[in-house]
Amino acid sequence: MLAIIVSDNTATNRLIERVGVARVGERLGEWGCVKTSLSRKMYDFEAARRGTENVMTARETVSLLLRLQRGECEDRPTSDAVLAVLEQCQDRTMLLRYLPYGLKVPHKTGTLDESRNDAAVVPGDHPMIVAAFTRKLRDTGAAVSWLGVLGWCAYRAAGNPGDPLPPELTRTA
**58-167: what CATH class?**
alpha beta
> Is the pLDDT at 162 greater than 90, yes or no?
no
pLDDT tier at 171, thresholds 50, 70, 90: low
Phi, psi of 123 (to 5 degrees): -75, 160
- pLDDT over 70 at 42, yes or no: yes
* pLDDT at residue 17, as a whole number: 95
Q: What is the pTM of this model?
A: 0.88
- pLDDT score recorded for residue 26: 95
Higher-confidence residue of 111 and 128: namely 128
- pLDDT at res. 92: 94
pLDDT of residue 7: 87
Confidence grade of residue 143 (pLDDT, cut at 50, 70, 90): very high
User: What is the signed CA dihedral for 145, 150, 117, 167, rounded to 10 degrees?
Assistant: 30
Whether 95 contacts 147, CB under 8 Å? yes
* Structural contact between residues 54 and 40, judged by C-beta atoms closer than 8 angstroms: yes
Question: What pLDDT sits at residue 168?
Answer: 62
Q: Is the pLDDT of residue 169 over 80?
A: no
Q: What is the pLDDT of residues 50-96, one digit of tens each?
A: 999 999 999 999 999 999 999 998 899 999 999 999 999 999 999 99
Q: What is the pLDDT of residue 167?
A: 61
Domain residue limits, the chain:
1-55, 58-167
Supply the pLDDT for residue 157: 95
**Helix-helix angle 21-30:9-19, to 10 degrees:** 80
